[in-house]
């Protein structure tokens, strides 16, 4: 099949086919995913129409949602996307991630692991690294402050109880929920996860702040139980 976007410059296209003109005339909803990406990229490379590059992005990723998870290296695999364009796209995708994460609810109730999963889903979807969060709660189990403690690999050495409860005390929390993601999607706890949870449980007793749960976050499709999360509270460890 011939490429409907041959390797020409956008200015070589008919005016009616240019994304910017179509945006001005018809509005953003009328543009395809590749046309919207072309507007972000602004220009192609030598022998690469920006529309062709944008269309290849969508084809390789499968969807705009998947692009949110891409790294600089992923973007730069495509001919016509260098370091600057890759970083521009990463910045746009991070803005999209943060918009999705902002539900507008300032103090959600977090008294069940399902609610923790749903609350944090926009923050960990597609992440290729582990992050560890502390959710500082008030007496009614409503969120006061969400703090990202570490990013990398959630182990007992990386997420130390001292750091966790320092944040809880700083924000006046009466209870906390800890959570971290598994990029593999399988939320089954590792030996390090179990060790850390026990350390957190003992530290919570020492500082008189309730540790309501430690939730490991994954994906339902990769979870043999189909839940997409593992709750140490439900498992009886806490």
Does 147 lie in the same domain as 82?
no
* pLDDT bucket at 5, cuts 50 / 70 / 90: very low
The beta-strand segments (E) located in the chain are 130-137, 143-152, 175-181, 210-217, 229-231
89 shares a domain with 47: yes
What does the alpha-carbon distance between residue 9 and residue 80 come to, in Å, rounded to a whole number? 12
Query: What's the chain's average pLDDT?
Result: 83
Q: Tell me the per-residue pLDDT of 187-221, one tens digit each, with 9 for 90 and over.
A: 999 999 999 999 999 999 999 999 999 999 999 98
Residue 106, domain member (yes or no): no
Residue whose token pair is 């702040």: 209
Whether 102 shows a pLDDT value over 70: the answer reads no
- pTM of structure: 0.62
Whether residue 97 is predicted with pLDDT greater than 90 in this model: the reply is: no
Measured from the Cβ of residue 129, the count of other Cβ atoms closer than 10 Å reads 12
Phi, psi dihedral angles at 153 (to 5 degrees):
-135, 120
Residues ≥6 apart with Cβ < 8 Å to 43: 9, 10, 50
Name residues whose C-beta falls within 8 Å of residue 89's C-beta, 6 or more positions apart in sequence: 40, 41, 67, 70, 75, 81
Q: Give the rounded percent of residues in the chain with a pLDDT score beyond 90.
A: 38
Asked, for residue 3, whether it belongs to a domain, the answer is no
Return the closest-CA partner of residue 118 out of 106, 132, 101.
101
User: Which residue range(s) make up the domain with 92?
Assistant: 10-101
Query: Are residues 75 and 15 located together in one domain of the fold?
Result: yes
Q: Which residues, 6+ apart, have CB-to-CB distance to 61 below 8 Å?
A: 67, 70
Residue 184 and residue 220 share a domain: yes
Nearest-angstrom CA–CA distance, 72 and 51 = 20
CATH of the domain at 49: 1.10.150
Whether residues 139 and 46 fall in one domain: no
Contacts of 113 (CB under 8 A, 6+ apart): 213, 215, 229, 231, 233, 234
Total domains, the chain: 2
Q: Long-range contact list for 202-206, CB < 8 A, 24+ apart? A: 202/161, 203/161, 203/162, 203/164, 203/165, 204/165, 204/176
Q: What is the mean pLDDT of residues 58-67?
A: 81
Q: Which CATH number does the domain housing residue 222 bear?
A: 3.40.140.10
List pLDDT tens digits, range 11-44: 555 555 677 888 888 887 888 888 888 888 877 6
Looking at residue 4, its pLDDT comes to 47
Q: Which of 43, 66, 101 is the last residue of a domain?
A: 101
**pLDDT digit string, tens, across residues 64-96:** 777 877 888 888 888 888 888 888 888 888 887
Q: Is there a single domain that holds both residue 133 and residue 210?
A: yes
Is the domain of 130 the same as that of 80? no
- Return the pLDDT at 140: 93
186 and 132, same structural domain?
yes
């Amino acid at each position: 099949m011939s490429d409907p976007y041959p390797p020409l410059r956008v200015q070589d296209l008919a005016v009616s086919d240019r994304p910017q003109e179509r945006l001005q005339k018809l509005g953003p909803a009328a543009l395809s995913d590749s046309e919207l990406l072309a507007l972000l990229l602004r220009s192609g490379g030598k022998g690469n129409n920006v529309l062709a590059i944008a269309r290849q992005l969508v084809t390789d990723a499968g969807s705009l949602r998947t692009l949110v998870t891409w790294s600089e290296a992923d973007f730069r695999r495509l001919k016509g996307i260098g370091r600057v364009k890759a970083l521009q796209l990463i910045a746009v995708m991070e803005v999209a991630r943060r918009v999705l994460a902002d539900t507008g609810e300032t103090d959600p109730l977090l008294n069940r692991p399902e609610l923790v999963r749903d609350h944090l889903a926009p923050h960990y979807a597609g992440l290729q690294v582990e992050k560890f969060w502390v959710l500082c709660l008030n007496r009614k189990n409503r969120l006061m402050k969400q703090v990202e403690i570490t990013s990398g690999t959630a182990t007992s050495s990386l997420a130390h109880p001292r750091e966790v409860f320092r944040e809880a005390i700083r924000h006046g929390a009466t209870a906390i929920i800890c959570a971290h993601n598994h990029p593999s999607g399988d939320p089954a706890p590792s030996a390090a996860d179990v060790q850390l949870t026990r350390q957190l449980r003992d530290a919570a007793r020492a500082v008189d702040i309730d540790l309501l749960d430690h939730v490991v976050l994954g994906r339902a499709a990769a979870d043999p139980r189909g839940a997409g999360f593992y709750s140490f509270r439900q498992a009886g460890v806490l």
